[in-house]
C-alpha cells in the first residue's frame, strides 16, 4: 500500500524510474565501490601514481636512438666537400649512484598514499550512502506526520466554516484558524518536497541519477548494540589505522625519498654505449663501430640541486604539519563520536521511548473517548504518535551513523571487543 502511494506521489511532475524491489541498506552500501565520480577521481590519482612509478623505473632501461648531421667542410687550400654522418646509438645506464633508486622509492610511496586515499574514499562513500538512506526514511515519516496534522487542521477549518455561517463563531476567530491551517499546509508541502529531494540525493550517492528508489526497507541495525573500547584504548588504534593518516605518512616518506634522489644528482653516473656510424667522407680517425663506458662526474650545477632540495623540504614540512593537524582532528572526531554514542544510548533512547509510551497512552485514551462519542475526532494524537516514533528512529539512525564514523576513522575495522589496540 505504501509503495503504491509513493509511486502515485512521484508520478507526473517528477520523472522517476522506481527500483524493482524495496531497497535495503545492505544493497545500497554495496554501491560504495561503484564508479561514482569521487571513486573515479581517486582511481585516476592512483593510476597516475602508478604511471609515475613506472616512469621512474624506466630510467635504467636500454635506449636506442638515431642521430645524424648534414654538413660540409673544407680543408686549408681544398674544396668544400660533404661531411655527413648518421649514427645508431645504444645506451644502457649501469650505475647512477642512487638517482633511480630514490625516484622509484618516492614513486612507490606515492602509490601507497593513493591506495590509502582510495580506502578513505570508500569509507566516506559508505557513510554518505548510509546518511542519505536514513534521510529518505525520516523524510517519509515526517511527511506522514505533517500530512496528518494538515488533515486534522482541514477538518477543524471545515467545521469552523459551518459555525461561522450559523453565527456560532466570529469571523476573526475563523481567520485565525485559517491562518494556522495555511501554516500547517506550508510545512506539509515543504515535507513533501524533502521526500523527493532526499531520494534524489540517495540516487546520486548510489551513482544512479534519475533512478529514485520508491520504497526503502527498514534497516535492522544490529551493530547498534556493539561494544566499543573506551577513548584512551581506541585512539591509538585510530591513529595507527586511519587511511588519511597513513596516506600522509606515505607522502612524507615519498618526500624523503625525493630529497635523497635529488642529492644523488651531485654524484657521478656510468653508462654503457655502443655506436654504429656511417660517414660521407672517409677518415682514419673515425670508427664505424665503437663501444665503451661513459663516465660522467658533475663538477658544478649552480643552484639547481640546492633549490630543488629546498622545495622538497618545504613540501615535507607542510605534509608534516598537515599530519599533526589531522591527528588533532581525528582525536576530536573520535571523542565527539564516542560521546554521541554514549548520549544516544543512555539518554536519547530513554527519552524517545518514554515519549512513545506517553503518546501511545494518549492515543488510546483519545480512541476510547471517540468510541464513547465523548469526542468527534482523534485530534492530533495520531500525528503526535507518529512524531514520537520519528524521534525514536532518529536516535537509532544517528547511533548507526556515529558507529559507522568511528569505524571509518579506524580504517574500516574496529579492534576486537575487549582487546587493546
Q: Single out the residue of 421, 353, 378 nearest to residue 149, CA to CA.
A: 378
Residue 200 belongs to a domain: yes
Name the least confident of 167-176, 196-205, 404-413. Answer: 167-176
User: What are the pLDDT digits (tens) for 16-35?
Assistant: 455 657 899 999 998 888 88
* Average model confidence (pLDDT) across the chain: 84
Share of the chain above pLDDT 90, in %: 36
Task: Measure the CA–CA gap between 118 and 42, rounded to whole angstroms.
Answer: 6
229-248: burial string, b at 16+ Cβ within 10 Å, e else: beeeebbebbbebbbbbbbb
Handedness of CA 14, 15, 21, 23 (dihedral sign): negative
Task: Measure the CA–CA gap between 341 and 228, rounded to whole angstroms.
Answer: 10
311 Cα distance to chain centroid: 30
pLDDT at site 375: 57
| CA distances, 212 to each of 7, 36, 126, 333, 342 (Å) | 10, 16, 18, 32, 35
* Residue 379's pLDDT band (cuts 50, 70, 90): low
Q: Identify which has the larger pLDDT, 50 or 364.
A: 50
Q: Per-residue DSSP letters for 181-244?
A: HHHHHHHHHHHHHHHHHHHHHHHHHTT-TT---S-BPPP--GGGG-----HHHHHHHHHHH-HH
Specify the CATH number for the domain of residue 286. Answer: 1.20.1600.10
Count the domains in the chain: 1
Residue 235 belongs to a domain: yes
Residue 86 belongs to a domain: no
Residue 250 belongs to a domain: yes
Cβ count near 317 (within 10 Å): 12
Which residues fall within 8 angstroms of residue 375, CB to CB, at 6 or more apart? 366, 369
Task: Measure the CA–CA gap between 239 and 200, rounded to whole angstroms.
Answer: 35
Range picked from 51-55, 225-229, 284-288, 324-328 for highest mean pLDDT = 324-328
Region 269-277 average pLDDT: 83
Q: Identify which has the larger pLDDT, 275 or 144.
A: 144
* Inter-residue contact 97 to 269 (CB < 8 Å): yes
pLDDT at site 296: 80
* Residue 249's pLDDT band (cuts 50, 70, 90): very high
Residue 81 belongs to a domain: no
Q: Per-residue DSSP letters for 78-134?
A: S-EEE--EEEEEEEEEEE-TTHHHHHHHHHHHHHHHHHHHHHHHHHHHHHHHHHHHH
Share of the chain above pLDDT 70, in %: 91
pLDDT at site 189: 95
Task: Measure the CA–CA gap between 167 and 154, rounded to whole angstroms.
Answer: 20
Which residues fall within 8 angstroms of residue 16, CB to CB, at 6 or more apart? 7, 10, 212, 214
Q: Per-residue DSSP letters for 120-189?
A: HHHHHHHHHHHHHHHHHHHHHHHHHHHHHHHHHHHHHHHHHHHHHHTTSS-HHHHHHHHHHHHHHHHHHH
User: What are the pLDDT digits (tens) for 192-209?
Assistant: 999 999 999 999 999 998
Q: Single out the residue of 224, 243, 305 nearest to residue 113, CA to CA.
A: 243
Name the least confident of 71-85, 163-177, 343-357. Answer: 71-85
Residue 178 belongs to a domain: yes
Residue 2 belongs to a domain: no
Q: What are φ and ψ of residue 251, in 5° steps? A: -70, -35
* Inter-residue contact 355 to 391 (CB < 8 Å): yes
Name the 3-class secondary structure at 275. strand
pLDDT value at 185 more than 90: yes
* Residue 237's pLDDT band (cuts 50, 70, 90): very high
pLDDT at site 7: 54
Name the residue range of residue 233's domain.
Answer: 21-75+91-409
Residue 156 belongs to a domain: yes
- Angle at which helices 99-165 and 171-205 pack, to 10 degrees? 160
Q: Identify which has the larger pLDDT, 320 or 45.
A: 320
Name the 3-class secondary structure at 288. coil
User: What are the pLDDT digits (tens) for 225-236?
Assistant: 888 999 999 999
Rounded to the nearest 10°, the torsion over CA 407, 411, 414, 415 is -160
pLDDT at site 19: 60
pLDDT at site 236: 94
300 Cα distance to chain centroid: 48
* Inter-residue contact 239 to 327 (CB < 8 Å): yes
pLDDT at site 417: 60
Q: Single out the residue of 234, 269, 309, 292 nearest to residue 101, CA to CA.
A: 269
Amino acid at each position: 500500500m505504501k509503495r503504491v502511494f509513493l509511486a502515485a506521489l512521484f508520478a507526473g511532475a517528477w520523472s522517476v524510474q522506481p527500483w524493482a524491489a524495496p531497497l535495503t541498506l545492505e544493497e545500497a552500501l554495496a554501491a560504495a565501490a561503484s564508479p561514482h565520480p569521487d571513486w573515479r577521481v581517486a582511481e585516476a590519482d592512483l593510476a597516475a601514481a602508478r604511471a609515475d612509478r613506472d616512469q621512474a623505473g624506466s630510467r635504467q632501461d636500454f635506449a636506442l636512438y638515431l642521430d645524424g648531421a648534414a654538413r660540409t667542410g673544407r680543408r686549408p687550400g681544398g674544396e668544400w666537400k660533404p661531411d655527413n654522418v648518421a649514427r645508431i646509438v645504444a645506451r644502457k645506464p649501469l650505475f647512477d649512484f642512487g638517482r633511480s633508486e630514490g625516484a622509484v622509492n618516492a614513486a612507490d610511496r606515492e602509490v601507497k598514499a593513493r591506495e590509502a586515499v582510495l580506502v578513505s574514499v570508500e569509507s566516506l562513500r559508505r557513510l554518505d550512502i548510509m546518511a542519505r538512506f536514513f534521510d529518505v526514511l525520516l523524510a517519509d515519516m515526517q511527511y506522514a506526520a505533517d500530512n496528518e496534522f494538515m488533515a486534522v487542521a482541514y477538518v477543524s477549518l471545515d467545521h469552523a466554516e459551518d459555525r461561522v455561517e450559523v453565527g456560532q463563531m466570529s469571523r476573526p476567530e475563523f481567520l485565525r484558524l485559517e491562518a494556522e491551517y495555511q501554516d500547517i499546509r506550508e510545512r506539509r508541502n515543504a515535507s513533501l518536497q524533502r521526500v523527493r529531494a532526499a531520494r534524489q540525493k540517495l540516487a546520486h550517492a548510489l551513482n544512479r541519477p534519475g533512478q529514485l528508489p520508491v520504497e526503502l526497507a527498514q534497516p535492522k541495525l544490529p551493530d547498534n548494540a556493539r561494544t566499543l573500547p573506551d577513548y584512551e584504548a581506541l585512539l591509538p588504534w585510530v591513529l595507527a589505522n586511519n587511511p588519511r593518516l597513513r596516506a600522509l605518512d606515505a607522502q612524507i616518506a615519498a618526500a624523503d625519498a625525493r630529497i635523497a634522489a635529488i642529492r644523488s644528482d651531485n654524484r657521478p653516473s656510468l653508462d654503457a654505449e655502443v655506436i654504429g656510424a656511417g660517414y660521407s667522407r672517409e677518415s682514419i680517425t673515425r670508427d664505424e663501430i665503437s663501444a665503451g663506458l661513459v663516465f660522467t662526474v658533475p663538477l658544478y650545477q649552480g643552484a639547481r640541486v640546492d633549490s630543488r632540495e629546498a622545495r622538497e623540504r618545504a613540501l615535507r614540512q607542510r605534509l608534516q604539519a598537515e599530519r599533526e593537524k589531522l591527528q588533532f582532528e581525528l582525536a576530536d572526531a573520535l571523542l565527539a563520536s564516542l560521546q554521541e554514542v554514549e548520549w544516544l544510548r543512555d539518554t536519547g533512547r530513554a527519552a524517545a521511548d518514554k515519549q512513545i509510551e506517553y503518546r501511545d497512552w494518549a492515543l488510546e485514551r483519545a480512541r476510547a473517548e471517540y468510541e464513547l462519542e465523548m469526542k468527534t475526532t482523534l485530534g492530533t494524537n495520531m500525528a503526535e504518535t507518529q512524531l514520537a516514533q520519528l524521534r525514536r528512529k532518529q536516535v537509532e539512525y544517528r547511533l548507526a551513523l556515529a558507529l559507522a564514523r568511528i569505524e571509518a576513522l579506524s580504517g574500516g575495522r574496529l579492534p576486537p571487543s575487549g582487546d587493546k589496540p
